[in-house]
Amino acid sequence: MNDILIQNTTAFFEKSFGTSPEKTVLSPGRINIIGEHIDYNDGYVLPAAIDKIICFAFGKKNSKTSKVIAIDLNEEFEIDLTQEVKLSDVVWTNYIRGVIKQLQDNGFSFEGFNCVFSSNIPVGSGLSSSAALECGMIFGIKSLFDLKLEKKDIALLGQKAEHWVGINCGIMDQFSSVHGLENKVIQLDCNTLDFEYHNADFKDYSLILFDSNVKHSLFTSEYNTRRIECEEGLSIIKSHFPEVKSFRDATEEQVLSLKDKFSGKVFSRVHFVVKEINRVIKACKALDAGNIELLGELLFETHYGLSQEYEVSCEELDMLVDTAKEDETIVGSRLMGGGFGGCTINLVKKGHENEVKRKFSKLYLDTFGIELKFYDVKISNGTTLL
C-alpha cells in the first residue's frame, strides 16, 4: 500500500516541477498501546509508530519562497521565507507554516523548497496525522539543507508547531512518529523524555483499530476540565503526603485514604491516573513476558477506567469495548486517544480477523446507523528518508 503512495507522490512531484525529488521522506502515524491521559499527569505512555504514513517529496527551489502541495486536498500554497510567518484560514497550511516558524525562531536557516505530500493516515481518527505532517516536514527541510537536528529536537519542534496552530498537545505523538522502530513499542517518560524500547510481539493476536467514525464536540472542553481536576487532585495528595512530588510517587492506598478530601469528581479522576500509571508498567512486563492475555486484561481495565472514572468515553466506544469483552476471540480492547470518539485498539486472535470485522460492522451499523472502519496496523519505523 505504501509503495503505491510513494510512486504517486514521486510522480506528482515530477509532473509539478519537471525534476525528480531530491529527498523523499516517510513519516508515520502512531498508536498508543496503554497509558491514556497520563502524558500530562507525570506518567509513562507506550506508543509506537505504524505502517500508515505521509509521503513527502522535496526539492530545492533556488529562491526565497517555498511551494507546498497537498495532493489529497488538491490544494497548494506558497510562502515567502523572508516575511514573518502568520496563521492562515487554511488549516492544513498552518502545520507547515508552524514548522517553518519554529525552525526560523530556533535559529535554523534554509532556502526555498518545493514539496508535495500525500497520506494514507486517516485524518482526525486519533492516529496523529498532524504529528506525522509536522515531523515529516521538519525531517525533509533538515535533510535538504543539512540542518543539525537530532530526533528529539524534531519531535520538540513539531510539538511547538502544533501549539502554535492552537492545540496544546503533549509530546507523545511527535516523539513516537520520530522515534518509532519496527516491532518495538516505546515506553516514554513524558516528563524527562527518557525512553526504552520493548518488543512488540503480540504472538497469536493481531492489532486492529476499529474507527467509530464519531467525534463528539465535548473533547476540548472536557480535556481542559480534566487537566484542572487533576491539578487540584495532585495538590490535595501533596498537602497530605509531602513526599509525593508527582502522580508517579502516589500510591492507590494514599488516594483511597483521602477519598473524602477530594471534591466532586476529583477522586475518580485521580484514582484513574494513579492506577493507569501502574498499568503501563504492568503492560511492559506483560509484553516482555509474552503474556498477551494479561496485556489484553490491562487494556480492558484502562477502558473501564477511562469510561467510568475519567469519563471521556461515549456510547459508541463503550458498545465496541463491551462487545469485545464478550467476544472470546478478542483478548483486549480500549478506546485509544483523548476519547469522545476516534478508534478503539483491539487484540484479535489470528485467523478470526474477518469474522470479527463482519460481526462488528453489522452490529455497529444496526445500532448507530454508522459505518465502522477497520485499520490493520503493523508497528513500523519512525520518520525516515526513503
4 interacts with ligand ADP by CB under 6 A:
no
Q: Provide the angle, in degrees to the nearest 10, between the axes of the packed helices 315-326 and 353-368.
A: 140
Q: Is 365 in the site for ligand ADP (CB under 6 A)?
A: no
The answer to whether residue 159 forms part of the interface with ligand ADP (CB under 6 A) is no
91 near ligand ADP, rule: CB under 6 A: yes
The contact mask relative to ligand ADP for 53-82 (x = CB under 6 A, - = no) is: -----------------x-xx---------
Measured from the CB atom, is 47 or 296 closer to ligand ADP?
47
Q: How far apart are the first and last CA of the chain?
A: 15
Residue 130 sits in the site that holds Mg ion (CB under 5 A): yes
Burial 200-223 (b: 16+ CB within 10 A, else e): bebeebbbbbbbbbeebeebeebb
Which among 127-135, 303-311, 321-329, 352-360 is the span making contact with ligand ADP, rule CB under 6 A? 127-135
Nearest to 212, CA basis, from 84, 368, 327: 368
92 binds ligand ADP (CB under 6 A): yes
211 is catalytic: no
Query: 249 — phi, psi (to 5°)?
Result: -85, -15
Say how far apart CA 86 and CA 359 lie, in whole Å.
48
Please tell me whether residue 90 adopts helix, strand or coil conformation: coil
Residue 41 interacts with Mg ion (CB under 5 A)?
no
Cβ nearer to Mg ion, comparing 124 with 290: 124
- Which of residues 116 and 321 has its CB atom nearest to ligand ADP in the complex? 116
Q: Between residues 73 and 228, which has the closer beta carbon with respect to ligand ADP?
A: 73
Residue nearer to ligand ADP on the CB measure, 129 or 346: 129
Q: Residue 346: CB partners within 8 Å, gap ≥ 6?
A: 207, 208, 209, 210, 324, 330, 332, 333, 356
Rounded distance, CA 21 to CA 10, Å? 7
**Angle at 70 (CA atoms; ends 65, 72), nearest 5 degrees:** 170
| Sequence-ordered alpha helix ranges (H) in 289-352 | 292-304, 315-326
Site string for Mg ion, 170-199 (x = CB under 5 A): ------------------------------
Residues 301, 279 contacting (CB under 8 angstroms): yes
Q: Which amino acid does the sequence have at 151?
A: K
Task: Indicate whether 129 belongs to the interface with ligand ADP (CB under 6 A).
Answer: yes
Report the partner that residue 331 touches, choosing among ligand ADP, Mg ion, none (CB closer than 5 to 8 A by kind). Answer: none
Which of the listed partners (ligand ADP, Mg ion, none) does 355 bind, with a CB threshold of 5 to 8 Å by partner kind?
A: none
Question: Cell 503505491 appears where?
Answer: 4
Minimum CB separation from ligand ADP for residue 6, in Å?
14
CB 31 within 8 A of CB 50: yes
**Looking at the annotation, which residues are catalytic?**
173
Binding positions for Mg ion, rule: CB under 5 A: 128, 130
Residues of the shown chain interacting with ligand ADP in the complex, contacts defined by CB under 6 A: 70, 72-73, 91-92, 95, 119, 123-124, 126-130, 133
